């Protein structure tokens, strides 16, 4: 199939999932056309069956705000028409779904029918989308998409709670390529950050408020009072200065290492003993799954879709949002008991395998086929045999 994928190309989970999905589909022989405003970070170099179409908005003095959505819709019209795409798959509703709808309508006037699928990732529904200024457009786009998917059952429920739609939403979880089995840690790399008797706790995110960075530092501080430990923080964003200030105030700067934005977080995770994700809300928690995929247990909040990924007392522990005492207690109990820690490492890897790309990719392929088929029947290109 020829598939157009629209995504945010930066470090967010939705962009990572969309890029990895496109790469995996290309490896299976599909022709993939990524459409976005800059080269997706995880795309890497030139590869077979993968094309990238850049959306660039001209900086006209009249525009105080650049009309990205309009240019994206025009680009989609162009790419669908000239690359002869079968389907569009947009990741993140705002503004990708409305741009796809606009492109679909324009193409219809030119005799081209293109179905589009919208995949909801979380903040497009739970945070940004709930904003009254977006709500009517999102509701409309959900209802107009040829299919809608959500990355967790929790997000599916949230969507029905927040939006006036009764259209079917299929849950297709995020996926990951995990290690086959636990690998020995590269001690040369690890020793650059911590001595062998010091535990490494990691958090990766875009450092937004919803990630509760202050809880990450608080939990780490409590752990480090009982166990020699270092905190590795990968990523960057508006709350980074909060973490920096807290580390200074708590006098733990030398044990808190900011590694900044990292293209492939698996290298940081591979030297870690524990991962912390205390988010306020999280539709899925791809960062937790990425940790589990390299055998790192997760201490997390029990919000949104996280419990669908991290299994309490198996791949890690769940606590109520903000309960840093409980998070620290769970972390300490694990870090103090080598045998239990090893067992949890193996269990997290095992759990991550439930989200293997081999299991999830066919779900998308089946959906693409059924949507294209249905669109052809509706347009009279295909007749259903009785
Ligand atoms: O977490 C973010 O702020 C980024 C955001 C995104 O759109 O990239 O992440 C959302 O989508 C990820 C991929 O599906 C999910 O794993 C994250 O849980 C979700 N974030 C939230 O719901 C806060």
Which single residue is written with the structure tokens 């003095």?
61
Q: What is the pLDDT of residue 26?
A: 97
* Atom number of ligand 1 nearest to Cα 279: 23
Distance CA 357, CA 175 (A): 5
pLDDT at 130 over 80: no
On whether the CB atoms of residues 299 and 226 are closer than 8 A, the answer is: no
Nearest CA to ligand 1 atom 7: 14
At residue 330 the predicted structure's pLDDT band, cuts being 50, 70 and 90, is: very high
pLDDT, tens only, 146-186? 999 999 999 999 999 988 888 999 999 999 988 889 999 99
Q: List b or e across 60-97, with b for residues whose CB sees 16 or more CB atoms inside 10 angstroms.
A: eeeeeeeeebebbbbbbbebbeeeebbbbbbbbbbbbb
Backbone angles phi, psi at 364, to 5 degrees: -70, -40
Q: Which residues contact 207 (CB under 8 A, 6 or more apart)?
A: 213, 235, 236, 237, 238, 239, 240, 243
Sheet holding 50-54, edge to edge: 50-54, 31-36, 2-6, 87-91, 116-120, 147-150, 169-171
pLDDT at 129 over 70: no
Q: What is the pLDDT of residue 41?
A: 85
Helices (H) and strands (E) in the chain, counts: 14, 13
pLDDT at 59 over 90: no
pLDDT at 386 over 60: no
Share of the chain above pLDDT 70, in %: 98
Distance CA 199, CA 211 (A): 22
At residue 286 the predicted structure's pLDDT band, cuts being 50, 70 and 90, is: very high
At residue 12 the predicted structure's pLDDT band, cuts being 50, 70 and 90, is: confident
Provide CATH 3.40.50.2000 ranges for the chain.
Answer: 2-175+357-378, 187-355
* Atom number of ligand 1 nearest to Cα 281: 23
pLDDT at 38 over 90: yes
* Atom number of ligand 1 nearest to Cα 284: 18
Instruction: Tell how far the Cα of 286 is from the centroid of ligand 1, in angstroms.
Output: 7
Distance CA 262, CA 240 (A): 15
Output the DSSP codes for 54-92. Answer: E------TT-SS--HHHHHHHHHHHHHHHHT-SEEEEES
CATH of domain 187-355: 3.40.50.2000
* Atom number of ligand 1 nearest to Cα 14: 8
On whether the CB atoms of residues 18 and 172 are closer than 8 A, the answer is: no
Pick 77 or 94 by higher pLDDT: 77
Which protein residues touch ligand 1 with a CB less than 6 Å away?
A: 12-14, 17, 92, 121-123, 126, 151, 174, 206, 208, 210, 281-286
> CA angle, corner 310, sides to 246 and 365, nearest 5?
120
Q: Which residues contact 374 (CB under 8 A, 6 or more apart)?
A: 115, 146
At residue 133 the predicted structure's pLDDT band, cuts being 50, 70 and 90, is: confident
Mean pLDDT of the chain: 94
Instruction: Tell how far the Cα of 251 is from the centroid of ligand 1, in angstroms.
Output: 32
Coil, strand or helix at 210: helix
CATH of domain 2-175+357-378: 3.40.50.2000
What is the DSSP code (8-state) at residue 122?
A: S
Q: What is the pLDDT of residue 46?
A: 79
Positive or negative CA dihedral for 77, 79, 84, 85? negative
Instruction: Tell how far the Cα of 282 is from the centroid of ligand 1, in angstroms.
Output: 6
In testing the pocket of ligand 1, which one of 10, 13, 172 has its CB within 8 Å of the most ligand atoms? 13
């Amino acid at each position: 199939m020829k598939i157009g994928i629209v995504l945010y190309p930066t470090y967010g989970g939705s962009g990572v999932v969309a890029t990895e999905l496109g790469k995996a589909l290309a490896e299976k022989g599909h022709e993939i056309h990524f459409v976005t405003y800059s080269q997706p970070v995880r795309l890497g170099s030139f590869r077979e069956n993968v094309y990238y179409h850049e959306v660039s908005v001209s900086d006209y003095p009249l525009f105080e705000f650049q009309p990205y959505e309009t240019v994206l819709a025009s680009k989609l019209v162009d790419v669908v028409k000239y690359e002869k795409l079968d389907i569009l798959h947009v990741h993140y509703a705002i503004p990708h779904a409305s741009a796809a709808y606009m492109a679909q309508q324009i193409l219809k006037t030119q005799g081209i029918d293109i179905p589009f699928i919208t995949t909801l990732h979380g903040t497009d529904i739970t945070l940004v989308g709930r904003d009254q200024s977006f709500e009517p457009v999102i509701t409309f786009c959900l209802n107009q998409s040829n299919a809608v998917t959500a990355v967790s059952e929790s997000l599916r429920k949230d969507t029905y709670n927040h939006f006036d739609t009764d259209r079917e939403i299929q849950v297709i979880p995020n996926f990951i390529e995990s290690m086959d089995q636990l690998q020995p840690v590269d001690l040369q790399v690890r020793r650059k950050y911590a001595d062998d008797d010091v535990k490494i706790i990691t958090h990766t995110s875009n450092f937004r408020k919803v990630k509760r960075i202050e809880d990450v530092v608080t939990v780490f501080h409590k752990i480090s009072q009982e166990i020699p430990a270092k905190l590795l923080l990968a990523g960057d964003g508006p709350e980074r200065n909060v973490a920096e200030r807290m580390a200074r105030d708590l006098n733990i700067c030398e044990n808190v290492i900011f590694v900044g934005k990292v293209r492939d977080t698996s290298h940081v995770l591979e030297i870690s003993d524990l991962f912390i994700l205390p988010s306020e809300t999280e539709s899925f928690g791809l960062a937790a799954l990425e940790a589990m995929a390299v055998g790192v247990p997760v201490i997390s909040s029990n919000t949104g879709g996280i419990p669908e990924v991290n299994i309490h007392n198996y791949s890690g522990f769940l606590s109520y949002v903000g309960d840093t005492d409980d998070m620290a207690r769970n972390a300490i109990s694990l870090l103090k008991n080598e045998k239990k820690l090893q067992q949890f490492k193996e269990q997290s890897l095992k759990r991550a395998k439930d989200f293997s790309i081999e299991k999830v990719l066919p779900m998308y392929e089946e959906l693409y086929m059924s949507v294209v088929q249905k669109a052809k029947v509706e347009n009279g290109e295909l007749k259903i045999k009785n």
